[in-house]
A and B are shown apart, each in its own frame.
Chain A
């Protein structure tokens, strides 16, 4: 019957219209991450700054060390460790720092708080354990809130004593 043939043909045209509409809108649809919280990659480069002569630094660090020398009056910067890790917003990432009265008693804690257009807000603190009346007590050395650009310039925390010099910690962050 004529009516039935028209109806079938118009059904296919309707479906084509919907398919074209979806294809047009598809490039504009942003992926929506419904379940996964944003994560941040953190790195702490731990240097021993001293005036003792030492081995030549890693050439890859030459630029960073040159910048540190402009403000921190030490002649030698030795990279002790460069721990890194990923954590979600609001969760703490910890790494041990050398030195302090109590072995393994110095800890750097980094907590990414928020990400806003490539800028990562991070709370950074260094706690240090010390012996008080025979007991190990943890007290803060420094507590700071930073805003780092993802993949941008790091921030430097320095000063805690270690061996014949001081620790200089270079903190950087990046977010996808």
Chain B
């Protein structure tokens, strides 16, 4: 059932860990998760059987006898390959997919974060009221108003604030004091 829900991406994660499972290198919880998946997934079950059969075949048929120098060179190459192989970085996609499979609740957390992010970006677009195209001499009724927040004259001037009869133009009138 889980294989149907999560699709082939879950199978690829399981298949990638079958080798470790066969070698008994998985943690108990992950081992149980893998076994539960294999029980439900014929494809992965067949892959596990193939792996087990292959291991048995190698054990039975393979007899390697190397001279001393060749054996040393062979094991040297094996150790070098092991050193070169690095653990996948946490940010790699296959590593991320493993995380999601082993911790299913991450799906819900990720969906919640993604949904919140999309909402935050789009809420401003949806809630902001649309403004009419700006023109300096647009029809009077459509224009938002100008606001004079504060106004003061100078030591030798005073000011009067008024507007046009239609309230569309705010006018600040400066009255200079007469020179004495």
Contacts and interface: CB of A to CB of B under 8 A. Distances in A.
B8 interface: yes
A70 B166 contact: yes
A161 B137 CA distance: 27
A16 to B, nearest CB: 10
Given A142-B154, A146-B147, A146-B149, A156 B118 contact: no
Contact of A155 (B12, B148, B150): B148
Interface stretch (B26-34, B62-70, B78-86, B156-164): B156-164
B45 interface: no
Given A25-B118, A67-B168, A11 B146 contact: no
Interface string A19-35: 00000010011100000
Contacts of A13: 8-9, 12
B137 A28 contact: no
Contacts of A147: 146-149
Nearest to A127: B154
Interface residues of B, number: 58
Interface residues of A, number: 54
A83 interface: no
Contacts of B37: none
A145 to B, nearest CB: 4
B40 interface: no
Given A3-B15, A17-B93, A146 B153 contact: no
A141 interface: yes
Contacts of A174: 134
Nearest to B155: A139
Given A28-B122, A144-B148, A147-B149, A18 B171 contact: no
Contact of A158 (B11, B133, B174): B174
Given A142-B152, A148-B146, A155-B146, A3 B18 contact: yes
B47 interface: yes
A7 interface: yes
Given A70-B164, A147-B146, A155-B146, A142 B136 contact: no
A150 B172 contact: no
B75 interface: no
B169 A153 contact: yes
Interface string A152-173: 1111111111000000000010
Interface in B113-155: 117-118, 121-122, 128, 131, 133-138, 143-155
Contact of B134 (A14, A146, A149): A149
Contacts of A63: 137
B76 interface: no
Given A7-B16, A70-B164, A144-B148, A156 B169 contact: yes
B93 A11 contact: yes
Interface of A: 2-3, 6-7, 9-11, 13-15, 17-18, 25, 28-30, 63-64, 67-68, 70-72, 117-119, 121, 126, 128, 139-161, 172, 174
Interface of B: 8-9, 11-13, 15-16, 18-19, 47, 50-51, 93-94, 96-97, 117-118, 121-122, 128, 131, 133-138, 143-157, 159, 162-166, 168-176
